[in-house]
Amino acid sequence: MVWPEAGAEVEPATIYAADERPSPQGRPWVLTNMIATVDGAAADPTGRSGGLGGPADKRVFAAIRAVPDVIVAGSATVIAEDYGPVRLAPELRDARRQQGLSEVPRLAVVTTSLRIDPGRRLFAESAGDRPIVLTTASADPERRRALSAVAEVVEVGDDRVDWALALTALRDLAGARIVLSEGGPSTNGQLVAGDYLDEMCLTVAPALVGGPAPRITGGGPGSDLRPLRLARILTEDGYLFLRYVRDRT
């Protein structure tokens, strides 16, 4: 740990699980976990974020994934990163059980078009609760029927996802007190625009990419400045692991 306790050796799974995350009025606590290079690229030259990480990042990634009740990702991210069901190490599953949580978080996919193949391994390999698909009333009925066979499809808006409805649905359907967004930039951008993001966990990778690489948030015209409070800095192997909390004062 670099700050607030310089020099302290910490275990990521322990320290992220112990963070306070009080539920905001009427909705779950929302955090996101993203990685970016020093020059702000959210993906490597192949277009995937996974290529930016290393062993330390994988440990922090797993520790943060063990925190929420539901993990949300946009369909473009699910496809690009080839998402499968959420898997956690036995010790992380045990820790969740001791906290009264399910062994693994439930997964939710955001898609207004429903253009995601119901045969993807995210659905085909799901062994527990079916994934949730957050979509809109204007989505194609044929695609809705196909996905309804492998997922719980929920309308949360007319032509675009209404995040107030989406977060309420995740609370009511999955008992979500904490929701983790894993992006992509469009999903994160919508959460920032609606001021629903309570916590930002950012890994800064010791690398440069250049070019037109995506940012960790994007899509739409942007929003007013959303002040954050720095809560912690960890480092290992040249990576920085930053935890920020939304400053609503």
- Residue 92 domain-assigned? yes
- Residue 17 domain-assigned? no
- Residue 18 domain-assigned? no
pLDDT above 80 (res 211): yes
Distances (CA, A) of 169 to 79, 124, 148, 156: 23, 23, 16, 8
Q: What is the pTM of this model?
A: 0.95
pLDDT above 80 (res 117): yes
pLDDT tens digits for range 48-68: 888 899 999 999 999 999 999
Chain mean pLDDT for the chain? 94
Q: Cα separation of 115 and 147, whole Å?
A: 10
Give the domain CATH number at 241: 3.40.430.10
Q: Cα separation of 13 and 66, whole Å?
A: 8
- Residue 65 domain-assigned? yes
- Residue 1 domain-assigned? no
- Residue 168 domain-assigned? yes
pLDDT above 90 (res 126): no
- Residue 47 domain-assigned? yes
- Residue 36 domain-assigned? yes
CB 68 within 8 A of CB 179: yes
Print the SS3 string covering the chain: CCECCCCCCCCHHHHHHCCCCCCCCCCCEEEEEEEEECCCCCCCCCCCCHHHCCHHHHHHHHHHHCCCCEEEEEHHHHHHCCCCCCCCCHHHHHHHHHCCCCCCCEEEEECCCCCCCCCCHHHHCCCCCCCEEEECCCCCHHHHHHHHCCCEEEECCCCCCCHHHHHHHHHHHHCCCEEEECCCHHHHHHHHHCCCCCEEEEEEECCCCCCCCCCCCCCCCCCCCCCEEEEEEEEECCEEEEEEEECCC
Q: Cα separation of 48 and 10, whole Å?
A: 29
pLDDT tens digits for range 83-96: 999 999 999 999 99
Q: Cα separation of 212 and 149, whole Å?
A: 38
pLDDT tens digits for range 169-203: 999 999 999 999 998 899 999 999 999 999 999 99
Question: How many domains is the chain partitioned into structurally?
Answer: 1
Domain extent at residue 212: 24-246
Q: What is the predicted pLDDT for the residue at 240? A: 98
